[in-house]
Every structure is written in C-alpha cells, then in structure tokens.
Structure 1
Amino acid sequence: MAPRKLCMIPGPIEFHEDVLSAMATPATSHVDPLFVPVFGESIEMVREVVQTKVAQPFITSGSGTLGWDMMVNLLEAGDEVLVITTGYFGDHFAECLEVYGAKITFIRTEPGATATTEQIAEALAKTKFKMVTVTHVDTSTGVLSDIKSVAAQVKAASPETLVVVDGVCSVGSEEIKFDDWKLDIVITGSQKGLGVPPGLSIVIASQYALDVYKNRKSPVPVYYSNWNKWLPIMNAYEARKPAYFATPAVQLVYALHTSLKLILSQPIETRFKKHAAVAADFRQFVRGLGLKTVAQSEQGAANGMTAVWLPEGVEVAPLVSGLAGKGIQIAGGILQGLAGKYFRIGHMGISVMEDDRQHIQKVKEALSSSLAELGYKA
C-alpha cells in the first residue's frame, strides 16, 4: 500500500487489512448461496456486539444518518419527543425527527457537559413522551452520556416511552448492554467502532419497539426506510434464505462480516476495557501538555475519541496541517460558533486493539511536535 496519512479522526477509522481484502470480493449476486449466510451471520453478530438476545438488527445501505430517518417507523405526527443533546449530532437528530411531525422538547447542555438526572426528571414530570433520544457519544464534543442511567430513569417514570440511542460513535468502542439496560433502539454506522468503510446503516430495535411500529395508527410515510419492506428481508437472510427489496451493499456486508468476526474473536468486555484504558491514557497525555478536553469530566468522556480545546495562540488549521505533514489526519471542531476553538482525535478499533501498529504513539508524537512548531510551550 502506498504511503498515506493515518486516518485518526473520529471516523472513518483505520481498517484492518482483512476488512479491506473483503471489500475486494468479486462481483457477487445478493442472492448468491455463498452470500446469503454471510449476511445472516452478520445480523447475528451485530446482536452480540450490543449484547442482545432478541432485538432485531436492520443492516441497510446508507450512512448512520439513515438510522435517524428510520425512526419514522415509530413516530406519528404530533408525538412528543425528548431530545437529550450534548452537541451537534443531538441537535440534528432532533431536526430529522421534526421532519416527521415530532414535537421536540430539548435538554441542552453546555459544551462538554452531560444532562443531569434533575433535568431529565423535570422534563419527564411535565410531558408524556413517545420517545426519548440520547446521543451515546456526540462526535462533535467527545462527550459520553450514561445511557444505562438515562434508560433506567426513563423506564422508571414511563415504561411505555421508547429509549432511542444514537450509537454511531459508540457501538464497538463503548459498552452497551441492550437487553439489561432496557434499550429500545440503537443506531450506528459501519465506519467507526465497527471498523468497516462507510456505507452501512445499522439499527437495532427491541421487540417492544417493533410492537410499537406494528401497532401504529397511520401508515409509515416513507418508502426506503420503511420497516414493512426491510423486516421480511432481515428475517429471510437470518433464516439463510435469499430475499429482495433493495440491493444490499454486498462487498460492505462481506467487510462487516470480517470485522465482526475479528471483534468477537475475544470477549467483548476485553475490547471495551482496552478502549477505556487507551482513552484514559490519552486524556492524561493531553493534560500533560497543559491542554483541556472538551468533555468536562472523566466519566463523561468518550473512550473512542477525544475533543481538545486549543491553547491560546494556536489556530486549528495550522495544527491540522502540521499533523497531516507528519502523516496523521485529525479533525477540527464542528460546534457552531466554536469550530475553530478545538480539535478532535479518534482512538477506536485496530488503532487501540493492536499495539504493534503504534497508531496512538504516532499521534502523541505528532501532536507534541506540531504544537511546539506553532510556538506552544507545554
């Protein structure tokens, strides 16, 4: 492979060579007897990653954002939705839901903070919500929300309310116990913690969520995102039978299958602990440079990425450029009004799990030297 920059943004992440080889699978029919079990096994392995026995995964062609769109299967015009937002992606999830007639109540936090139990309790006491959404890791801030506690609080106050988790930047790098925590929806994409090139949208729905969908009063007002179309397809492939609605991204499914096998080749708890350890060490390194993370607390900091406030006198563009010149691609900020004030670095997947690659060490060295070249003294 020709020399290139390491992609150390918060997704897409670096991909294992076996995953890239799977992408080179020759042209293959989506109903080929060799492909059907690969798709079926991928559905089953997704369950293992989020630790559920009975929830229904949907694996479709599209970005993680398509998962937001699929919430139209659960929403009807006028439904009340509580959106707990910790950054850019929580805000835009709400924007998507409003398209389908949802009435949004926000719990907004200042940059780097998480919602409090008091804020959630106050909102739940005022309104009966059809759905509560929470971004597990908001990629714009690196803030980690405690979805276990949020789900417990919501279900205690209103068992009928759906708990919807945007896990685009968390599935595969953060612990998720779908069944034990009584989650209803987890949304993700292929290109982050699952370690697969972009192009697959993955939604996991509880049996309760499926009951809500099946008992809705009005027709689902979309075509491609409609679970009436996709549920028979997922069921068929899992039963090792070919089916067709829209052509799946065959090579991406092969890549997903390969990556999931790698992920599950060791206990999933081992993966989560390693991500937590590497992230804690990286945050300590950042603090050692005299910098501050956007996430305001250790327990509210993501394990798959870190957002860092820029020191005075350093601008984001020269810093990103400086690291790029050393073979490391990082990302600037995206929070409205603050985008130029911070930068973001991803630490997920093989960059974390395979120490011999030295990806994190290379980031540390490049960041230290680039800051120094820009006149910053730690």
Structure 2
Amino acid sequence: MPHQKTPDNPPARLSLISRHLAPDYPINTPYAVERLPDTVDTSLLPKTQIRAISSSPTMSPQPPHPTILIPGPIEFDDAVLQSMSHYSESHVAPGFVATFGETLSMLRKLLQTTDPASQPFVLSGSGTLGWDLIAANLIEPGEDVLVLGTGYFSDGFADCLAVYGAKVTELKAAVGSRPQLPEIEKALSEKRYKAITVTHVDTSTGVLSELANLSALVRRVSPDTLVFVDGVCSVACEELDFDGWKLDGVVTASQKAIGCPAGLSISMFSGRAIKALESRKTPPASYFASMKKWLPIMQNYENKKPSYFATPSPQLVHALHTALSQILSKPLSERFARHKETSDRIKKAVADLGLKQVAPNPDDQAHGMTAIYLPETVQIPQILPSLAKRGVVFAGGIHKEIVTKYIRFGHMGVSVLDLSRGDIDRAIKALEEGLSECGYQKA
C-alpha cells in the first residue's frame, strides 16, 4: 500500500489522526471499555468534547479517558498532541532547526527576559535534570549553597547538590509553610553562599514561595550569591519575571503548566550564571548534563544553525513549539489571572466542604495545585478510587511527614483555560460526591 501523505490542512490532519486514535465507536462498546478501567463509570465521562481547530469544530481525537488532575502531567490540548504526529525528520534539518530556534526564543518571552546574555536550554529529560544542570555546572565541589526547604522537592534539590559535592545548608520550614525573609537574611549574613535555591511551588505541599522580595533581599545582603529557582510546578501558571526579579536560573519541565507531554527539561540561565560556568576551576562533573557542551548547541539552534552534541526529541520539540505558541497568543497576565481565579474557586470549594489545606496561609498557596488534608475518617485508598470511578484522577500525598493524610488536586493549563471542557466543575463535584460515598459529611 502506498504511503498516505499527511494533509497540510489542520482539520484534515486531525480527521486523519482521529481515525487512528479514536475510531467512531460508541463509548459502551468493548472497544471503548478496553481503554478504561472497569471501575470507571463511563456515563460520567465527557463523550463529546468539542475543540475548535481553525474555524471548524471537530470531535477530539483523544479516546474517552478519566480527566487527569494531578500536579503533572496534566491534560493536553489536542493541537499539542497533534503536533507530535510530525513525520520523522533529522534533528539538523532546516525545518526542525527553525522550529527549535523559535521554541528557544519563545521561552525568553514566557520567562520574561530580553537580556541577550541569558540563555535558554531545552534538553531531553525530566524536570529533575534541571537540578543536575545547576549542581554539575554552576556549583563546584566544596562551595556553599543555601537551600530553602518547603517539602519533598526542595529536599531532592538539596540531595542532588550534595551528590556533586556542594556543601548544603538547608533552611527548613514547618510542613505547609516556607522560610521567612528575616531568617533567610540571618543565614545569608552568617556565611558566604555561592547560591541560594528556592522551590517556587513545592508540589508535595502546594506551598508557593515569594520570589521578588527574596531576590531583592539576596542582592542587598549577599550580592554575589546566585539565585536559582525550581519552577517545575510554577512556570506558565505563576507570575515569574526573570529580568525584573534578577533571577540567575529557572529550571522547569514540559509536562506541567506548559502543557506538553513529559520528556523535556527546560531552563533559563542569566549572564551571571553563564559567567560562573565559564570561570569554573574544574570541568563539569557530568557528560550529558554539561552546560559547556550544550551552550554552543543552544546558541546555534536559536540562531537557526544546525548543531549537534546529543540527539534532541524532534516530536517533543514540535509539541513544545505548539504549546508555547498557544500560551503566547494572549497576554501572560491573563493566563496568570485565570489560574488564580480558578485556584480561589477551588480553595473556596475545599473550605466549604469543611476541609483544610496543607498550606494554611493564603499567601503561601500555589495557584496551579491544591494540597488537601483528608477528614480523619477518610483514607487515601478509599477516596482516590471513588474519584476515579467518577472519571477524575487526583494524586496521593508525597511528603513523608504527612503522606497518608492528604491528596493533591492539580489545576493547570487547558483544564483551567478551556472552560468548555468542564474539568474543574467535574472535579469539584467528584470530590464532594466521593467524600460522601466514603461516609464523610461536613459537620
């Protein structure tokens, strides 16, 4: 059979893909049941999610599935998934080089930097690879790093730094809170630190750390200290001004609020950070994660020049290009405001159910996720299956001190921005009904 050329017209391409991904079977046929666990009540799933591709409304090509509302991976827009169907191409072909270059340039806009000395990186890997980039390249063995502890992921960042030989001091906060500026100032005054790290949103607790005043404090008290941000669960749903806040590094990943499938480590580093890399006394302690090897590659790609160190993932880069194009099609301020409005609504619903958040202070609460303490009478093995039966997937706890006591509700990206999906309404209703099924009634 001759190869069928993929149409260039977006609706036609989507139609072709949909015949492969989601044949037109009724949801109650054996074909559909094979795609869903038997415990899922398929009557509660959205059967006709309509998406606008160009000017034509088209049935979504995604098979019916439970709505995933965890703190990443999140639900993906049809166009992002469609872009991954791009035919195989060389990673140094002109078309891909142009796409990758545009993607790197769009990251500058997303993170709000116009400084030509700053440099974006997109590497195959998870968000955790961003820790390695910092630890292996920007900190030398024996140098001091102050880690602000807000949960499981800040602890992981500290572990990664220690593996590469950094002398780590952790300034830990109680579960559900964050270190305060006076104690951070005290720590910075007592010792010279090469860098300070902060987890913008710690996904284990839903704690949001404030960055603008923190960075200003560091510049005032210890101006040579580099400020590195773990933005895995914050980039694209929380305000983040790389230039305005004088940040030196932000690391993130593709599968959270950016809205692209997992597999890309995404980061931005300042001119100060690049100088720290170039002035190292010892070579970076990693081969694949060597920024000295990747720096000219990223610079060449952004300048639309083919280059090679290790093979990127063209399909994921195409998906990221589509996701960033969607994000930047509207003012970032509108995107951040929508996430905040949705977060406020969810947190009110949680309070109305008589439940408490892991982060009790509204100033410390993330806008892309909510960590919710369960009633004492309800256990995780009860509530998560009850939610799944209603077509909604939440995450269990991950912080070791409270792991059995709470669940996590992720609300980022398309589930927040595309109201026609009804994801948030369905999730709130499922939570209310699920708790009732587990025997909980608000006092």
Q: 2:376 aligns with which of 308, 312, 319?
A: 312
Q: Displacement, 1:317? A: 1.5
Q: Which amino acid aligns with 1:253?
A: V
TM-superposed CA distance for 1:206, in Å, is: 0.3
Identity %: 49
Partner of residue 418 from structure 2, selected from 346, 350, 354: 354
The answer to whether structure 1 residue 35 and structure 2 residue 96 are counterparts is: yes
Residue 63 of structure 1 corresponds to: 126
Q: Could you list the per-position Cα deviations for residues 242-273 of structure 1 after superposition, in whole angstroms to 9, with x for gaps in the alignment?
A: 11110001100000000000000000111011
Of 292, 305, 309, the residue aligned with 1:241 is 305
Q: Is it true that 1:206 corresponds to 2:267 in the alignment?
A: no
Match of 2:59 in 1: none
Distance 1:300 1:148 in 2: 14
- Counterpart of 1:254 in structure 2 is 318
Q: How far did residue 318 of structure 1 move? A: 1.1
**Amino acid corresponding to residue 425 of structure 2 in structure 1:** Q
What SS class does the counterpart of residue 209 from structure 1 fall into?
helix
Deviations 1:51-94 (A, max 9, x none): 01122110000000000000111111110000001000000100
Whole-angstrom distance in 2 between the partners of 1:362 and 1:126: 51
> What corresponds to 1:343 in structure 2?
407
Measured in 1, the distance between the counterparts of 2:73 and 2:149 equals 22
- Report the RMSD for the aligned CA atoms in angstroms: 0.7
CA shift at 1:32, angstroms? 1.2
The partner residue of 1:10 within 62, 68, 71 is 71
Q: Partners in 1 of 2:297 and 2:383 — Cα distance?
A: 47
Task: Give secondary structure in 2 for the equivalent of 1:165.
Answer: strand
What's the CA shift for 1:159? 1.1
For residues 124-273 of structure 1, what are the structure 2 equivalents within 5 Å?
124-273=188-337
Structure 2 counterpart of 1:25, one-letter code: H
Counterpart in 2 of 1:23? Answer: 84
- Give distance in 2, aligned partners of 1:250 and 1:287: 44
The higher-RCO structure (CA 8 Å, 6+ apart) is 1
User: Contact 1:80–1:104 (CA<8 Å) still a contact in 2?
Assistant: yes
For the residue of structure 1 that corresponds to 2:408, the secondary structure is strand
Cα distance, 1:114 vs. partner?
1.4
- Please list every run of 5 or more consecutive structure 1 residues that lacks an aligned counterpart in the other structure: none
Q: SS where residue 10 of structure 1 aligns?
A: coil
SS in 1 for 2:407: strand
Task: Note if contact 1:317-1:332 (Cα within 8 Å) is conserved in structure 2.
Answer: no
- Answer whether contact 2:189 2:222 (CA < 8 A) is retained: no
The normalised TM-score by structure 2 is: 0.85
Taking the TM superposition and a 5 Å limit, the aligned residue runs for 1:274-353 are 274-353=338-417
- Any gaps of 5 or more consecutive residues in structure 2? 1-61
Question: Match for 1:301: what amino acid?
Answer: Q
Do the aligned residues in 1 keep the contact of 2:277 with 2:292 (CA within 8 Å)?
no
Residue in 1 that maps onto 2:169:
105
Offset at residue 122 of structure 1 (A): 1.4
Deviations 1:312-349 (A, max 9, x none): 10001210111111111100000113111000010000
Describe the SS at the equivalent of 2:265: strand
- Distance in 2 of aligned mates of 1:337 and 1:203: 30
3-state DSSP of counterpart to 1:339: coil
Alpha-carbon shift at residue 26 of structure 1 (Å): 1.3
Q: 1:95, 1:25 → 2: CA distance?
A: 38
| 2:364 partner SS | coil
Q: Which residue of 1 aligns with 2:7?
A: none
Deviation at 1:33, TM superposition (A): 1.1
Shift of 1:2: 2.4
User: Are 1:373 and 2:434 an aligned pair?
Assistant: no
Whole-Å separation in 2 of the counterparts to 1:59 and 1:5: 30
1:81–1:102 contact (8 Å) kept in structure 2? yes
**Which is higher, the Rg of structure 1 or of structure 2?**
2
DSSP 3-state at the match of 1:35: helix
The letter of the residue matching 2:344 is A
